[in-house]
Amino acid sequence: MKTSAETQRMSRLTGWLERAPAPVFVAVAVAAAFTTYFAMYAFRKPFASAKFEGQFFLGTQVALKTAIVISQIIGYALSKYIGIKICSEVTRERRAATLIGLVAWSQAALVVYGLVPGDWKVVAIFFNGLPLGMIWGLVVWYLEGRRTSELLLAGLSLSYIMASGVVKDFGRALMEGGVAEWWKAVPLAGPLIGESLGKVSEAWMPAVAGFHFMPVLLVSVWLLNQLPRPNAGDVEARAGREPMKGADRLAFVKKFAPGLAMLCVGYFFLTAYRDFRDNYQVEIFDGLGYPYKENKTIISRAESIVTFGVMGILALLNAVRDNRRGLLCALGIMTGGVLLLGVSTALLQARMISGFWWMTLTGLGSYLAYVPFGSVLFDRLIASTRVAGTAVFAIYLADAIGYTGSVGVQLYKDLAAGSVSRLGFFTGFTWFMCVLGAVCLLGSTLYFARCTRVPHFKPNSA
């Protein structure tokens, strides 16, 4: 129930969206969330399209690009730990300003990245990643706890699947001086840049990419902030969502400890797998026989297929009204995703599919397992158990652990498996992720199936 003060502060657009038919609200909310997070990726991922060939960090065996990737992941992982508190406690009134301030911080770090010499870029990119890990939680706050949350969160998840490939291809185009041609080749791309932009160096490319997407980010955050709060029907169907204090967070972890433990072990390696594929797509495609100069939009093409595949499958969850069944269906989709990793690799090794389709299927499988962690999985868990809290906290707990795993795997690759090509390492990692992921996800499915079965589960118990 809104107070009179809240009603007076409501903008005309917010009031209109509150009265609008559900399909209209979903379309506007997805557009705002998708564009916000898509634009954020222009501040996070373009640097990964640079190779820094032949350069090593501080004269060690660690390649400079690996050091830069690891440094940003460390900052991003630390951001997730910080976000456990900040994102679960932030009030609605502060969300938009916090979101814009964090992105502005990351862009300032990219300017420093362009100014400093090679080894110091590792420090600059750390400060670029430090604020960005909290953006997801701030956006999810606007979307969770609604009857249409599956559609909204699936639409949001499209953003980072598609954006990761698009912004890296955009970064390569900036360095090649072919930005105008690149835009013509990318589906759904808009006229965000001028025709006369020349070649940009590897050092300055990330900052230039960020400046191009800043206007898009500002407009999309404004639109996101106009979304009305969940209504009474949403609260009845999905439980109310309120900021969580420290005691609330501890109680949540204790209540679901066994299931959360299995999920977090799987997510520890799944995040590392997804991040390795994401950061080294250029090198993996090269190893598969797709050199960038001849395949300038190959990453965007592969990720576009993945995007719509994931969106279509996860959107089906919105048809499952029963929250317990929705939770178990989400876990089933995730298990199917990790099994697809093994099936696609077997098909590649049997020469039944091409390298392009293998990368596309590993993307589809990994994102089918990965995306629900940051969206529908914990939203359904809270809705089915009616525990007090927010999905954002559980998402950030898993993310903090997941990105810690990503740092460890990056270091392991260069220090313990330095003689193995990135393609070879990724192939072995795919088999490992298939087996481990299936074990962890099947175990957690059995746990949550049992503990959410009435009358065995008591949501108000400590």
Q: Is residue 342 part of a domain?
A: yes
Specify the range with the lowest mean pLDDT, choosing from 33-47, 52-66, 249-263, 433-447. Answer: 52-66
Whether 300 has a pLDDT exceeding 90, the answer reads: no
Output Rg (C-alpha) for the chain, integer angstroms: 21
Q: Is residue 48 part of a domain?
A: yes
Q: Is residue 456 part of a domain?
A: no
Q: Is residue 56 part of a domain?
A: yes
Write the pLDDT tens digit of every residue in 434-447.
Answer: 999 999 999 999 99
Number of domains comprising the chain? 1
3-class SS of residue 63: strand
Bigger pLDDT: 21 vs 5: 21
Q: Is residue 291 part of a domain?
A: yes
Write the pLDDT tens digit of every residue in 12-52.
Answer: 888 888 888 888 999 999 999 999 999 999 999 888 788 78
Specify the range with the lowest mean pLDDT, choosing from 7-11, 42-46, 117-121, 213-217. Answer: 7-11
Bigger pLDDT: 58 vs 248: 58
User: Is there a contact between 241 and 390 (Cβ–Cβ < 8 Å)?
Assistant: yes
Q: Is residue 461 part of a domain?
A: no
Q: What is the mean pLDDT of residues 185-193?
A: 46
Rounded Cα distance, 316 and 285, in Å: 32
CATH number for position 173: 1.20.1250.20
Q: What is the DSSP letter of 228?
A: P
Write the pLDDT tens digit of every residue in 373-409.
Answer: 877 788 788 777 777 667 777 788 888 888 788 778 8
Q: Does pTM top 0.85 for this prediction?
A: no
Write the pLDDT tens digit of every residue in 72-92.
Answer: 988 988 898 888 888 878 888
- Of all residues in the chain, what percent carry a pLDDT higher than 70? 88
Q: Is residue 457 part of a domain?
A: no
Whether 183 has a pLDDT exceeding 60, the answer reads: no
Provide the Cα torsion 42, 316, 368, 397; round to 10°.
Answer: 80
pLDDT, averaged across the chain = 82
Owning domain of residue 54: 4-451
Q: Is residue 404 part of a domain?
A: yes
Tabulate helix, strand, coil % of the chain (nearest 5): 75, 0, 20
